[in-house]
Structure 1
Amino acid sequence: MSLALFWVEELPVGDRFTLDGPEGRHAADVQRLRVGERLLLGDGAGATAECVVVDVAKSALGVRVEERFFTEAPAPRLVVVQGLPKGDRAELAVQAMTEVGVDEIVPWQASRSITHWKGERAAKSLEKWRSVAREAAKQSRRAWFPTVSELRGTAGVTPTFVLHEEADIALSTVPLPAGDITLVVGPEGGIDSNEVLDFADRGAIPVRLGPNVLRTSTAGVAALSVLSARLGRW
């Protein structure tokens, strides 16, 4: 069984460290780690350390750093521009895409999005997406946590591919670019034809996944799986 990962803003410089705060509370009070058990500390930016618990206190652990690692950032990066879903489908999409390896998620206010982010709701929704991504990255033991960018409109997006049910080319066969890949996933109402044309004018290629129409909360996950296999990540 893989070791549990706990997030810290910065890895300890020395060989001793106190894991406290929310992460320490989760490790000590929820997972109930004990002296002699091992865990991972990670900064979400490639650096991790394998540690052993040497002391247990209320809502905190004292650990000794045994070994340090650094994982290079994935290249090319996989970016998903996610049309705002309604309800809890947004959290499902962010969680699952993080688990399968997305490098950046861009919330997109599409013309057919039922959900709209404005004012205080926008700030709360963005923070929720970031929190879900962070927790999913920890659960899946990722060395690099994905970026969740600020909300964008259509004009602020320059994609490589656009998932579209009427596309003639399959994502599994389309030639891939040498650099980063940015993929657009529409909301429940789909992508407006004017948006498709707008993206195409900027060089985007409409692609499909298969004969079935996937939900907005699962399409990004399926597309990332195809791309990860093609790029040799999996």
Structure 2
Amino acid sequence: MTPPLFWVDEVAAAGEQATVSGSEGRHAVTVTRIRRGQTVILGDGRGTFADCEVLDTSGKDRLSVRVGRVEFVTRPKPLVTIVQALPKSERSELAVDLMTEAGVDVIVPWQASRCVARWAGSKAERGVDKWRSAAATAAKQARRPWIPEIADLATTMDVRDRCARVVGDGGMVALLHEEGATPFRSLDFAGAPEIVMVIGPEGGLDPAEIADLTALGGTSVVLGPEVLRTAAAGAVALGALGAVTDRWSR
């Protein structure tokens, strides 16, 4: 079984001693019950991680380790951004969890026109913070070297600007829609430096949103024969993408 992963601000050099404290130390000592002599992984969430030997624990939240092999893992290519329309509250963090475990690089929360959930003011800040926390937790569970970036809440104009930039830079934009004209498996991802997949809310993408984003170079795509919940669509699409690109080559 892969050793458990814990986040630190910076990964120390091989041979050095390091201390894990705070919430991560508490999780290691009190929840996971790590003990002297065990192996753990420390990561910074930015691609660097290290195999470490546990030297000692103290109190309820301090773990002392000796750093062994240190490795830097580059992000997989192509870079994948998912623009996720806000799901209903009970499924909001589930969507982030599933996409993170499936390997997403960037998640953009989007206030689409048909969203039932509405974020504004401090609610938007709290919502983004919860998504970032969910992404860090899921990345730890999945033993990911990179914690996905969670962008600030986006308007449709923000999404439009992002998609236009990606298309202009030679990337691809796919709008996942049950009435999409193009099968996902027929897309040619070769050479695309970045892929943006746009996922609507429970009520689906609005026709005006589809028309606007396809006019910018996006493609309306059907993922498969089943109609997926918005919380699951991103993870399923990432799995399909991993199988047809080099993202799963490692």
Q: Which range is displaced more, 14-23 or 1-10?
A: 14-23
Deviation at 1:55, TM superposition (A): 1.1
1:188 deviates by 0.6
1:154-169 aligned within 5 A: 154-157=156-159, 158-159=162-163, 160-169=173-182
Q: How does 1:1-234 map to 2 (within 5 A)?
A: 1-13=1-13, 15-58=16-59, 59-157=61-159, 158-159=162-163, 160-176=173-189, 178-234=192-248
Distance 1:114 1:148 in 2: 21
User: d(CA) in 1 for partners of 2:19 and 2:88?
Assistant: 40
Aligned-partner SS, 1:207: strand
**Which residues of structure 2 form unaligned runs of 5+?**
164-172
8 A contact 2:16–2:66 mirrored in 1: yes
Runs of at least 4 residues of structure 1 off by over 4 A?
none
**TM-score scaled by length of structure 2:** 0.91
Distance 1:89 1:147 in 2: 19
Does the residue aligned with 1:233 lie in a helix, a strand or coil? Answer: helix
- What secondary structure is seen at the aligned counterpart in 1 of 2:133? helix
Q: What's the % identity of the aligned pairs?
A: 47
* Pairwise CA distance, 1:75: 1.7
State the SS of the aligned residue for 1:56.
strand
- Aligned-partner residue type, residue 121 of structure 2: G
- What's the offset of the Cα at 1:62? 0.9
Supply the AA of the counterpart residue of 1:184.
V
Shift of 1:180: 0.2
Moved more, 185-194 or 175-184: 175-184
What are the ranges of 5 or more consecutive residues in structure 1 without an aligned counterpart?
none
1:233 to partner: Cα distance: 2.4
Task: State the SS of the aligned residue for 2:186.
Answer: coil
**AA of the residue aligned to 1:218:** A
Deviation at 1:232, TM superposition (A): 2.7
Query: What value does the CA root-mean-square deviation take over the aligned residues?
Result: 1.1
Measure the CA separation in 2 of the matches of 1:181 and 1:153. Answer: 19
CA distance in 2, matches of 1:166, 1:49: 46
2:18 and 2:64 in contact (8 A); partners too: yes
Tell me the distance in 1 between the aligned counterparts of 2:53 and 2:90: 37
- Displacement after TM superposition at 1:74 (Å): 1.6
Matched with 2:168 is none
Q: 1:155-181, CA deviations, whole angstroms, 9 ceiling, x for partnerless residues?
A: 111441101111121111112252100
What is the distance in 2 between the residues matched to 1:166 and 1:31? 46
Number of equivalent positions: 234
